[in-house]
Amino acid sequence: MLSTILAQAIERPEIDWHAVSPELLLLGGGALVTVIDLIFLERARRFMPTLTSLVFLVALVPVLTLWGQGDDLPRVMWDGAYVVDNYSLVLKGLFLLSGYVIVLLSTNYMSEGDYYDSEYYQLISASVLGMLVMTSARDLVSIFVAIELVSIPAYLMAAWRKRDLKSNEAGLKYMLMGVFASAILLYGMSLLYGLSGSTKLSDIAETISIGESKPIITLAIVFTVIGFGFKVSAVPFHTWAPDTYEGAPTPLTAFLSVASKAAGFVALVTVVIIAFPGQAEVVEPLMWVFSALTMTVGNLIALRQTNLVRMLAYSGIAQAGYMMAPLAVYGGIEDRAASAVVTYLVIYAAMNLGAFAVVIIAARKTRSAEISSYGGLFNYAPGLTVAMTFFLFSLAGIPPVGGWWAKFEIFRILTEGNEVGGISLAVIAAVNAVIAAFYYLSIAKQMWFMPAPDGDETPISIPPSLAAAVGITLAVTIVTGVLPGLVSEMTDFVNVALP
């Protein structure tokens, strides 16, 4: 039976094996890691991080080879339900590299704790696989399956510290809110299917763009956008994020705040740009409200935090508000709006992962994530302090590091049409950037000028994996700020995501 199915699949001309090879390699690599774990058990534990890292790097190879064949893109499969184009390839590369950095962050954290390694890395591989599928999905069913493939492993990993009540609470809250969000999203998708008779985004766009907008269409759009709002922790659907981020293992917090959030944004952008191009009058006001609320509430609450992980959680909520801003003015400039969001995602991934890498390293000495524990960090870890300062400056949007270019692209999209909605949102974003700079710079002040709380200035021992994670993310953060044309060229799409 299996051989017959495989033979039929090989004969089907719509399957482009090269185009889907990143997903297949990651799937096969994850299966290999599982088999090795089952056979060798405890003896395989120390090899799991290395094997998983190799799987991510191997899966990155066909992404690069496909990128090099840009003239042959897009590759369309299954009647337009799955598309491989520049848009999806940039995001596949982002997710694979983010997964690789997360493994670097997790290696010592897991091996030095009372946790079993192998399943953790298998779950990371499964979640990243869902992200790869998400980038090319152009069908409601495949988008929903990809979202759940991203989310379900994350629910399990959030509660990975089984004997820690906060970790159990984090996993439970994340799961309950995730299931609730999935129900809302499914309801919106079911309405879209009922209206169009199809799950393909291009077919939905043709159906709901005909004639005047109807209340049922508005309802479908609102429920769909709200479902994605939970996934990206947009206000007022953000309440799960701070407790989950604080209680989950710190490497997983980095994973949730970057890769998982980015996957939610990919789904949101894909659906809005492809399925709702004729419903801008419904989507844009909704996204304007969500963007303004998210960046403002996130920044104001971040000001009051004394725990750095919770502060980064609320900072991530505020950053989501900036990322949603281009969707508040996307009508007629769909490709440029998508490019601005992806540019922000790429730079945000580097600077936020780098910040969490520093948090993990510092916690090896301080055993605390309290901001006060970072006093005097420059005296005993000057290199780490400089790196963290670059990451904080980038998050605040201060040149010459990458965050300034990410915010510049957002402001450019908001103001280029001289629309009242776009300009007013740009003003709100500018005010929020000033608010954010205050709490980011207060951390830098603590590291550079305040004394160590206990007077202990013993140097920190930095494992090679964590040093590599800081080095990779710092290099990307600096390069994207000094040479912004590189990231702009990668994210400058034409006819983005259209089959």
Interval 251-274: pLDDT, tens = 888 888 888 788 888 999 999 988
Q: What is the mean pLDDT of residues 129-156?
A: 91
For residue 113, pLDDT beyond 60: yes
The more confidently predicted of residues 20 and 45 is 20
Q: What is the mean pLDDT of residues 343-355?
A: 92
User: What is the predicted pLDDT for the residue at 495?
Assistant: 47
What does the alpha-carbon distance between residue 208 and residue 218 come to, in Å, rounded to a whole number? 10
* Helix axes 86-111 and 21-40, enclosed angle (nearest 10): 20
Domain interval for residue 483: 14-490
**What's the pLDDT tens digit per position in 168-180?**
888 888 888 888 8
Prediction pTM value = 0.91
Take residue 437 and report the two structure tokens written for it. Answer: 């700079």
Q: What is the mean pLDDT of residues 208-231?
A: 83
Alpha helices (H) in 41-139, listed in sequence order:
48-67, 86-111, 117-136
Tell whether 28 is covered by a domain: yes
What does the alpha-carbon distance between residue 133 and residue 240 come to, in Å, rounded to a whole number? 25
> How many angstroms from the chain centroid is the CA of residue 170?
19
Least confident range from 316-320, 468-472, 477-481, 482-486: namely 482-486
User: What is the predicted pLDDT for the residue at 295?
Assistant: 93
**Any idea what DSSP says for residue 307?**
B
Q: For residue 488, count other CB atoms closer than 10 A to its CB.
A: 15
Tell whether 4 is covered by a domain: no
Least confident range from 363-367, 421-425, 438-442: namely 363-367
Whether residue 441 contacts residue 79, with contact meaning beta carbons closer than 8 Å, is answered with no
User: What is the predicted pLDDT for the residue at 6?
Assistant: 36
Take residue 179 and report the two structure tokens written for it. Answer: 């299931």
Tell whether 2 is covered by a domain: no
User: What is the predicted pLDDT for the residue at 232?
Assistant: 86
Burial class (CB in 10 A: 0-12, 13-18, 19+), 8: exposed
Tell whether 294 is covered by a domain: yes
Tell whether 444 is covered by a domain: yes
Tell whether 6 is covered by a domain: no
Tell whether 102 is covered by a domain: yes
Q: What is the mean pLDDT of residues 384-393?
A: 93
The more confidently predicted of residues 219 and 45 is 219
What does the alpha-carbon distance between residue 414 and residue 424 come to, in Å, rounded to a whole number? 9
User: What is the predicted pLDDT for the residue at 321?
Assistant: 92
Whether residue 105 contacts residue 40, with contact meaning beta carbons closer than 8 Å, is answered with no
Domains held by the chain: number: 1
Q: How confident is the model at residue 114 (pLDDT cuts 50, 70, 90)?
A: low
Q: For residue 219, count other CB atoms closer than 10 A to its CB.
A: 14
For residue 9, pLDDT beyond 70: no
User: What is the predicted pLDDT for the residue at 487?
Assistant: 80
The more confidently predicted of residues 210 and 477 is 477
Residues 6+ apart with CB under 8 A from 260: 127, 150, 151, 154, 231
How high is the mean pLDDT of the chain? Answer: 85
User: What is the predicted pLDDT for the residue at 14?
Assistant: 63
Tell whether 399 is covered by a domain: yes
The more confidently predicted of residues 115 and 393 is 393
What does the alpha-carbon distance between residue 235 and residue 201 come to, in Å, rounded to a whole number? 26
Residues 6+ apart with CB under 8 A from 301: 314, 317
For residue 332, pLDDT beyond 80: no
Segment holding 84, helix H or strand E = strand 82-84
Q: What is the mean pLDDT of residues 334-345?
A: 88
For residue 70, pLDDT beyond 80: no
Q: How confident is the model at residue 117 (pLDDT cuts 50, 70, 90)?
A: low
Whether residue 345 contacts residue 261, with contact meaning beta carbons closer than 8 Å, is answered with no
User: What is the predicted pLDDT for the residue at 497?
Assistant: 45
